[in-house]
A = this chain, B = another copy of it.
C-alpha cells in the first residue's frame, strides 16, 4: 500500500485517539492498532509521538481554517460574513468532533510545544474576527471609537463563545450548526439588552 495512503490512515487514527483519550493517555499501540498497522511503521512514517501529535494539530488546524474561509464570501457586509463564518465553523466542528477536541482541548492542555502550535491557529482566527469587527465599525462610521485592544478583547470573547458553543452543541446532540450559529450571532450582534427587548438579528 502506498505511503501517502498509509500515512493518512495513521493520522486519522491518531486524531481519533488523541481527541478521545488525550495526548498522554493515548498509546502508540492503540493508534497503530486502530490504523491497522504495526507500531514500527508509525514510527517510520511519523517519527515520534510528539511529532505525530504536532502533525495532527497542523492538519486539523488547516482543515478548520480552510472550512471557515470556504464558508465566507469576502464581498458581503461584516455581519453577514461573521454569520457565514460562524456557520461554517459550527458545521466543521460538528463534523469533526475528534479533530476539534484535539485542537480545542488536547493541544492546549499538554505543554508548550503543542499549545504554541494551536496558538497560531487561534490567532489567525482572532485576527480574522478582529478584522471583521473593524470592518463593521467602519461601515457604521464609528470606527474611531473602538480601540485595537478593545477589538482584540471582543474577538477573544466571541471566539471563546463560539468554542464553548461548539463543545455544547457537540455534547448535547440536539443543537444543529445553524441553530448554534444563530444563537451566537444574535448574542454577539444584538447583545442581551436588545434581545431582552425582543429585538433580533436576521440574515437579510
Contact = CB atoms under 8 A, between A and B. Distances in A.
Contacts of A189: 191-193
Interface string A117-137: 000000000000000010011
Nearest to A133: B192
Contact of A165 (B136, B142, B145, B156): B156
A9 to B, nearest CB: 24
A43 interface: no
A193 B201 contact: yes
B165 A163 contact: no
A183 B167 CA distance: 23
Interface string A155-198: 01111111111011000000100011001100111111111111
A197 to B, nearest CB: 6
Contact of A154 (B137, B158, B159, B195): B195
A91 interface: no
B153 A157 contact: no
| Number of identical protomers | 4
Contact of A158 (B21, B142, B150, B161): B161
Interface of A is mostly: helix
Contact of A153 (B25, B111, B175): B175
A3 interface: no
A49 interface: no
A105 interface: yes
A24 interface: yes
A193 B164 CA distance: 21
Contacts of A108: 105
Contacts of A161: 157-158, 160-161, 164
Contacts of A153: 165, 168, 175, 179-180, 183-184
A8 interface: no
